[in-house]
Amino acid sequence: MMESEKVDNTRRAMRWGLTCDKGQCQEKIIKNGKEIVEVCKFKPTIKQVDEHTQNTESCHYYLQKYDALVSKHSLWNYHAFFQIMKFNKKLFEDYLNRKVSIFDEAHKIEDQIMQFIGFDIFNGQIDECNLNSGKYDFSDLDSMVQLIDDIAYSYAKKIKDIKENDSFQREPDYESITRLERRYDRAAQAKIDILTGKDNFVVNDPVRDLSGNFRSISVKPIDVSSFANSFFTTEYQIFMSATIDRFSFCENMGLIQDDVAFIDTPKSPFPLDNRRIDLLNIKRLSYGSTESDELEVIKVIDRIMDEHSGERGLILTSSVPRCQKILRYLSPKNTRRIRICHSYNQDGKTQDEIISEHASDPTGVLLSSSLWEGVDLKDDLSRFQIIAKVPYPNYKEKRTKAKMDKFPLWYTSQTLTKLLQGFGRSIRSENDWAKTYVLDTAVNNVFFKAQKMIPHAYYDVLGIENQ
Ligand code: SF4
């Protein structure tokens, strides 16, 4: 970014395209034959922000980030905070010395940590590194470590070749060097992580396109507990969630149970009548369910939609194909009420766009396999919700299967958490209400296996007696 423009309205600035798309906050350049690091002239130092001596034209991104670090209390999204804890802890150690950290939505921490450990390899990356994907065995961890190593070597060689090239000496392209260095670092670090505990890593099946061509593959840790404590460093941590249980959470995060005080709220703050759940036990759905069982469940969905013909609602199921099947067999009048909503949609619409269309349709019904969490369908955005199928994690994914074999309780706890999160999508405050229907008989099995994990706040609505 060579110039800056002062605008008071940041939204308007974004519309005008006044963003920092170069994004090279600091880069290595060669000056007088020597490699030096040149820092963007708009980048403030944390010391300036701490002492309020920063320039008025300083970069907004760093002002915000450093302001959070120097403040007494600060609020972070997981990715930004974990990024610091993984890569810059030493650099900011003077500012990370806090007594307490609070982790909201704690049932999602494992997914967040997973983003920082392991490696995803894409087809484009293999091509960029001039490697032959046919040379590697995509079911073998050693072969994948070799591939990651070859990727790192290839990036290192590219960097060396570019730097030694005459045209680079005349007109250096620092942007591509920084990009390649970042890719090299990521691959080299992943190799170290994997080799320090090979038994703990698993290679998922490769994703292929419709013609069977390789698209991507991921190498992921089974157990994140040995990595988790590097993210939790304050004297006290408070983990908040309506859907975690003590044993499984401690096991997963590597916490010693005796070091943890667990507060299980005895009662839901929302009235029972506002959040009733009807376990209809229609059929047990699984990979091997018969067609007639599947259709019977869809018939009941149709009936419930008729009973709520003047209201908005939500239908949750376990996969995209199941969403399509439900849509195919509903009655025409109910089909017209449906909007399929995923985080990525075929027509390119975002989840928020679909939900705002839903909000202007007085009898609209969202159908999804991904809205189990993180969506807020308050008041008459949803007055009924149908759980068509219990959301078991996909055990056909190798990492899930390996984790399930090693930690059987994890699988049950993941299913329970998602189910309980689903129950909460349409009841967002004490005056809000919605009726929930569960159609899959398998829910009883989950509640039976997870009986010690169910938080007390759900006892009344699930008819469980307090012992
Ligand atoms: S410091 Fe800010 S303005 Fe400069 S390159 Fe980085 S993001 Fe852009």
Each residue of 176-189: pLDDT tens digit?
777 788 889 889 98
From the list 436, 414, 421, the residue with the least C-alpha distance to 242 is 421
Burial class (CB in 10 A: 0-12, 13-18, 19+), 26: exposed
Å from CA of 58 to ligand 1 middle? 9
Please tell me the predicted confidence (pLDDT) of residue 164: 83
Query: From the CB of 40, is ligand 1 less than 6 Å away?
Result: yes
Residue 101: pLDDT above 80? yes
From the list 86, 66, 69, 78, the residue with the least C-alpha distance to 102 is 78
Q: Do the beta carbons of residue 390 and residue 446 sit within 8 Å?
A: yes
Residue 22: pLDDT above 80? no
CB atoms within 10 A of CB 312: 23
Residue 171: pLDDT above 70? yes
Listed in sequence order, the residues at least 6 apart from 208 whose beta carbon sits closer than 8 Å to its beta carbon are: 214, 215
Residue 240: pLDDT above 60? yes
- Cα atoms in the 13 Å half-sphere on the side-chain side of 231: 27
Q: What percent of the chain has pLDDT over 70?
A: 94
Cα–Cα distances (Å) from 308 to 31, 119, 293, 425, 439, in that order, read 71, 46, 23, 17, 16
Mean pLDDT of the chain: 90
Kind of pairing between the strands at 100-103 and 236-239 = parallel
The full DSSP string for 34-76 is: EEEEEE-TTPPPHHHHHTT---TT--HHHHHHHHHHHSSS---
List the end-to-end C-alpha distance of the chain, in Å, as a whole number.
64
Please tell me the predicted confidence (pLDDT) of residue 19: 63
Cα–Cα distances (Å) from 466 to 204, 446, 455, 457, 460, in that order, read 42, 19, 11, 11, 9
Write down the H helix ranges in 289-367.
291-307, 320-329, 332-335, 351-359
Please tell me the predicted confidence (pLDDT) of residue 1: 42
Query: From the CB of 54, is ligand 1 less than 6 Å away?
Result: no
Q: What percent of the chain has pLDDT over 90?
A: 68
Confidence of residue 58 (pLDDT cuts 50, 70, 90): confident
pLDDT in tens, 344-390: 787 888 899 999 999 999 999 999 999 999 899 999 999 999 999 99
Q: Do the beta carbons of residue 193 and residue 152 sit within 8 Å?
A: no
Å from CA of 96 to ligand 1 middle? 23
Please tell me the predicted confidence (pLDDT) of residue 5: 53
Please tell me the predicted confidence (pLDDT) of residue 363: 98
Distance CA 339, CA 157 (A): 50
Best residue among 20, 46, 57, 66 to mutate for probing ligand 1's pocket (most ligand atoms within 8 Å of CB) is 20
Cα–Cα distances (Å) from 367 to 97, 253, 359, 385, 448, in that order, read 45, 33, 14, 10, 27
pLDDT in tens, 245-287: 999 999 999 999 999 999 999 999 999 999 999 999 999 998 7
- Can you tell me the mean pLDDT for 104-116? 92
Distance CA 400, CA 405 (A): 9
Residue 304: pLDDT above 70? yes
Query: From the CB of 228, is ligand 1 less than 6 Å away?
Result: no
Please tell me the predicted confidence (pLDDT) of residue 170: 73
The gap from C-alpha 220 to its chain's centroid, in whole angstroms, comes to 14
- The residue to which tokens 């969506």 are assigned: 375
- Can you tell me the mean pLDDT for 205-230? 89
Distance CA 367, CA 329 (A): 13
Please tell me the predicted confidence (pLDDT) of residue 354: 95
Confidence of residue 14 (pLDDT cuts 50, 70, 90): low
Positions of E strands within 365-452: 365-368, 384-387, 435-440
Closest atom of ligand 1 relative to the 43 alpha carbon: 1
Task: Output the CA torsion sign for 357, 359, 365, 368.
Answer: positive
Q: Do the beta carbons of residue 58 and residue 43 sit within 8 Å?
A: yes
Residue 169: pLDDT above 70? yes
Name the residue ranges covered by the structural domains of the chain.
Answer: 1-75, 119-223, 272-462
Closest atom of ligand 1 relative to the 22 alpha carbon: 5
Tell the CATH superfamily of the 272-462 domain: P-loop containing nucleotide triphosphate hydrolases (3.40.50.300)
Residue 198: pLDDT above 70? yes
Distance CA 413, CA 453 (A): 7
Please tell me the predicted confidence (pLDDT) of residue 161: 87
Å from CA of 116 to ligand 1 middle? 23
Please tell me the predicted confidence (pLDDT) of residue 60: 86
Backbone angles phi, psi at 183, to 5 degrees: -65, -40
Q: Which element (helix H / strand E) includes 109?
A: helix 109-114
Query: From the CB of 201, is ligand 1 less than 6 Å away?
Result: no
Closest atom of ligand 1 relative to the 24 alpha carbon: 5
Query: From the CB of 25, is ligand 1 less than 6 Å away?
Result: yes
Please tell me the predicted confidence (pLDDT) of residue 2: 42
Best residue among 3, 5, 25 to mutate for probing ligand 1's pocket (most ligand atoms within 8 Å of CB) is 25
Q: Do the beta carbons of residue 79 and residue 109 sit within 8 Å?
A: no
Best residue among 18, 40, 45 to mutate for probing ligand 1's pocket (most ligand atoms within 8 Å of CB) is 40
Query: From the CB of 62, is ligand 1 less than 6 Å away?
Result: yes
Please tell me the predicted confidence (pLDDT) of residue 355: 95
**DSSP 3-state assignment of 321?**
helix
Distance CA 29, CA 153 (A): 22
Structure tokens at 66: 């450093």
Helix axes 141-164, 174-195, angle to 10 degrees: 150
Q: Which of the residue ranges 68-82, 109-123, 291-305, 410-424 would you say has the lowest mean pLDDT?
A: 109-123
Residue 4: pLDDT above 60? no
